[in-house]
Chain A
Amino acid sequence: MTSAEDAKACCSRAYGTDAVAMVLGPSYHPGGLSLTRRLAERLGVRAGHRVLDVAAGTGTTARMLAADFDVTVDGVELGQDVLESAVAETQEAGLSAKVGFHHGDAEHIPLPDGRFDTVVCECAFCTFPDKERAAAELARVLRDGGRAGITDVTVTGEGLPAELSTLAAWVACIADARSLEEYSEILAGAGLTTVCTERHDAALERMIEQIDARVRLLRMTSFTRLHQAGVDVDAVLRYCALAREAVADGLLGYALLVAEKR
């Protein structure tokens, strides 16, 4: 890892690559839509609210929130290709009037102060190199009393096995993950007071199983394509096994956190 900026660009770019799209498939974050719904409930999202989704990806969360919770959603996404798919899929779903997307970075959110009732950020905070700055941005765009909801990878204890701290692991968004307490402190530094936390380690375990299954399915069906995209199947399966072990040992986990701007 040369620098934080390199990592960020690489991370965002990687999420737009064939290799990652192939490996991750539709399982876009641990817990899937049901954890997103739970987060929305914990946040107290109400009809008519303005919601911001930071690192919105292809907009799955944004569209679900707009449709199921009757809110307007702005999504911010750094990857240009991913952003274009988000816009296209939203148009196809007929939700463009309620869901819009902006090219941008969590550390420089291109939106005005105090605009949002709620900010969500799923499985992405851990990849932000300057977490203090990102937290300050989340706080800035929230109105007073607004809430930020984060679900993310957590790392506790002595940290991760060396092999899981490499670049590939960074892409899988675990290398710079912190403990739940640290996330809470970072947010507190930006004026966001934690009001609720929940552990969802099983969701991470499940996602690792899903990646493992997907890669093996691709090996069965599309070996050549996988090879062309540069996916090293054995390496991915090895990372999966290591990650699974780390979850079982309590080193790696997944958590939900809600913080309020006071």
Chain B
Amino acid sequence: MTLDDQQQDRVKRDRDEVFVEFTKSICPVCKTPVDAQVNIRDNKVYLRKRCAEHGWFEALTYSDAESYLSSARFNKPGTVPLTFQTEVADGCPLDCGLCPEHKQHACLGIIEVNTGCNLDCPICFADSGQHGTETVTSADGDSTTASGYSITHEQCELMLDTFVESEGEAEVVMFSGGEPTIHKNILDFIDLAQAKPIRNVNLNTNGIRLASDKRFVAALGERNRVENRSVNIYLQFDGFDERTHREIRGADLRESKRRALDNCADAGLTVTLVAAIERGLNEHEIGDIVEFGLAHPAVRSVSFQPVTHSGRHVEFDPMTRLTNPDVIRLLTEQRPDWFGKDDFFPVPCCFPTCRSITYLLTEGEPGAPDFGVVPIPRLLDVEDYLDYVSNRVVPDYAIREALEKLWSASASMGTEVTEDRLKQAADALDCAEACGVNLPGAIADLTDRAFMIVVQDFQDPYTLNVKQLMKCCVEEITPDGRMIPFCAYNSVGYREQVREQMSGVRVDGVVPNATELGPVLIDSPSGSKVYRDDER
């Protein structure tokens, strides 16, 4: 080496990234809390962390750094729930929950009624299914798998009471699983929820029973007509290609989905299509899903969720995973005449980068040449109402309140609350004096043409950031009466803990099926991956 070379070696260099946050996360392998840093490179946001035992990990968390930073203004001060279920002891995310340090109440409570399912999807964050373990049928007909469980009437009641104690009047409870429609008491559970101060029930289902059991669908329809209560269907719906169905669900369910939707329409049930989007699988179907939803009489909203790499999933690369801005970009690319990037607005009740929503009014019949959509954020500047940092004067606080309910995790089309809020928000368009059109009045007649699109990126053991977790407003209610932020439940080990408690069978910590971890992973009995501990 010459002297010149040596001097060149000693020249200071700039880092290739902008360091923006110091936070906490977990090791995706052992789930131990670790320090983490958020960095920006090439306008993308990455979370990086190091576990003393398992080394460095990095994942893409938001593919539009500019939006990531600017959305910080849309962070609504949280609301303190009426009760907390745990104490602060070991710090986030080990004290769930909710612990008194949690920053937000629960907009949405989830009750998983079982772990059993009538499908064995290759992709399932809940690691549910019928595989791998022996089935035990008890005297009263409840079937449990060796590491699985289904909740009892008493447990459901305790879970609902936990939610109500914490919320007072709760907006939405979601029954999920497993597959909730195969729990023999699911209708009782819905009745139980409707008898409590909980306005809306969402039923999260793969639709198989809805496709084949019209009496069941009619029973749900009846419950949807109970005064001041509603039942909405949250239907897994990932696309139209056979490959999409086979690779995400392990079966071609296209016909079944169609029948389920038609049966819901006949029973007067409102449906949200819920699409898990995975890179290289169904990212080309996002626009088609929206178009299909707009055309179907039962469908009033679509929810897109980049596949959560918790539980069971196909092998993935954390550095190129899909994030909310990717889904929005794909939609605007696939339907450029309908959507622009700015039509989606971050949800202020949770951390604004977790969820984005838009509402549309539709014009004409889908498929017809004059069909068009009018995104509501083009009609009023949502930003002028939901900026909690730089705004000192909000044009109208009633409209802000309406928009807060619309841009929240509890918003659900087909419910009176959401439709009332849409009408209230339309007051922002009042120009009766200036232009002689009573737009708010006119829009009130249009709410049955309103449609909601949600984009929600749940966190996984790679992307988990306690900053987001601490303000999570979607909670898993556990049979022992805790309310655990959804992404903590799926990523930190709470799901495995509850499953072990409920089934009495040991459940190992699930590790993401990331390509880089391949060599240290083995299959779990339920098809997810666990750490290969050679000393076990």
Residues of A that sit less than 8 Å from B by CB: 18, 21-22, 25-27, 32-34, 37, 64, 67-68, 85, 202, 205-206, 209-210, 212-214, 216-222, 225-226, 229
Contact = CB atoms under 8 A, between A and B. Distances in A.
Given A68-B393, A221-B443, A225-B436, A22 B431 contact: yes
A58 to B, nearest CB: 8
A211 to B, nearest CB: 9
Interface string B426-437: 001101011111
A222 B439 contact: yes
A22 B435 CA distance: 5
Given A25-B379, A225-B437, A216 B372 contact: yes
B378 A21 contact: no
Given A26-B428, A32-B383, A216 B363 contact: yes
27 contacts: A18-B434, A22-B431, A22-B435, A22-B436, A26-B380, A26-B381, A26-B428, A26-B429, A27-B381, A32-B383, A33-B384, A64-B393, A67-B392, A68-B392, A85-B433, A202-B342, A205-B340, A206-B340, A210-B378, A212-B378, A216-B372, A217-B379, A220-B361, A221-B437, A221-B446, A222-B437, A222-B439
A67 B390 CA distance: 13
Interface string B380-408: 11011001001011000000000000000
A62 to B, nearest CB: 13
Nearest to B380: A26
A221 B393 CA distance: 30
B378 A18 contact: no
B187 interface: no
Given A213-B378, A222-B442, A22 B437 contact: yes
Q: Which 5 A-B pairs have the closest CB atoms?
A: A221-B442, A213-B378, A21-B435, A22-B435, A21-B434
B331 to A, nearest CB: 15
A37 to B, nearest CB: 7
Contacts of B437: 22, 218, 221-222, 225-226
Contacts of A206: 340, 342, 378
B445 to A, nearest CB: 8
**What does DSSP make chain A's interface, helix, strand, loop or mixed?**
helix
Given A213-B374, A220-B361, A85 B442 contact: no
B439 A213 contact: no
Interface of B: 340, 342, 361, 363, 372, 374-375, 378-381, 383-384, 387, 390, 392-393, 428-429, 431, 433-437, 439, 442-443, 445-446
A220 B392 CA distance: 35
A219 B363 contact: yes
A216 B443 CA distance: 12
Contacts of A37: 390
A25 B380 CA distance: 9
A85 B434 CA distance: 9
B442 A229 contact: no
Contacts, number: 84
Given A37-B390, A220-B361, 6 more contacts: A21-B431, A25-B379, A33-B384, A213-B379, A217-B439, A221-B446
Nearest to A228: B436
B435 A229 contact: yes
A20 to B, nearest CB: 9
A95 to B, nearest CB: 10
Contacts of B384: 32-34
Nearest to A205: B340
Nearest to B438: A222
A37 B442 CA distance: 32
Given A21-B435, A22-B431, A85-B434, A220 B378 contact: no
A113 B79 CA distance: 52
B37 to A, nearest CB: 30
A214 B378 contact: yes
Contacts of A18: 434-436
Contacts of A210: 378-379
A212 B439 CA distance: 16
B444 to A, nearest CB: 10
Nearest to B439: A221
Contacts of A216: 363, 372, 374
B378 A229 contact: no
Contacts of A85: 433-434
B11 to A, nearest CB: 34
Contacts of B381: 26-27, 32-33
